[in-house]
Amino acid sequence: MILGGTLTLPEATGPHPAVVLITGSGAENRDEEVFGFKVFRLIADHLTRNGIAVLRCDDAGLADLPATWPSHEFRLCRRCPRPGGVPQDPVRDRPVRIGLLGHSEGGLIAPIAATRSADVAFIILVSGPGLPGSEILLAQSETVGRSEGASDETIRKNQDIQRMLFAAARTGSGWTRSRRP
């Protein structure tokens, strides 16, 4: 898979630590723009001005420019072609000081990714969820239902269906019962 993105490098001579930014839920661009506020652009600018290389990518299918690197962002950070890029550990031939910054749902993804890659030296979690995903989805569906004028009965029925689906996903059984007629 190919993703579009932006790599910002500090002006000072490196090597520099690097951070890969991980977006939250929904289709996000590399700036993780929310109501015109470019969350990741601001974070990337601050980190880069303070000596940290930052990679931020569009979610799959959102690239507005031809993509130039694979979705395995660590490869780019490990093998950065520009002088002063991320340093290599000469003994283990792996990157030094590459971290993940996960925002919102990315705060769930970053720790999972970190446990699956020896390349991750640190993680930063920003506004990650403090509740199980099923509880978040139930609260979101209620909020959306109310904002769209749904009745309490409709909201309750939708949440009952969601609960059946969550249970079926957890246990692997009950899918037939959770289907709508």
Give the model's pLDDT for residue 145: 94
Residue 15: asked if its preceding bond is cis (omega within 30°), the reply is: yes
Contacts of 94 (CB under 8 A, 6+ apart): 78, 88, 118, 119
The domain ranges of the chain are: 2-126, 133-178
Phi, psi of 32 (to 5 degrees): 45, 55
- For residue 131 the two structure tokens come to 């509740």
pLDDT value at residue 173: 82
pLDDT per position as a tens digit, 42-81: 999 999 999 999 988 877 655 544 444 333 343 444 444 4
Rounded Cα gap, residues 34 and 20, in angstroms: 19
pLDDT of residue 78: 44
Which fold would CATH assign to domain 2-126? Rossmann fold (3.40.50)
- 119-177: per-residue pLDDT in tens? 788 899 988 888 888 898 899 899 999 999 999 999 999 999 999 999 988 888 877 76
Looking at residue 83, what is its pLDDT?
Answer: 41
Q: What pLDDT is recorded for position 170? A: 86
pLDDT greater at residue 31 or residue 86: 31
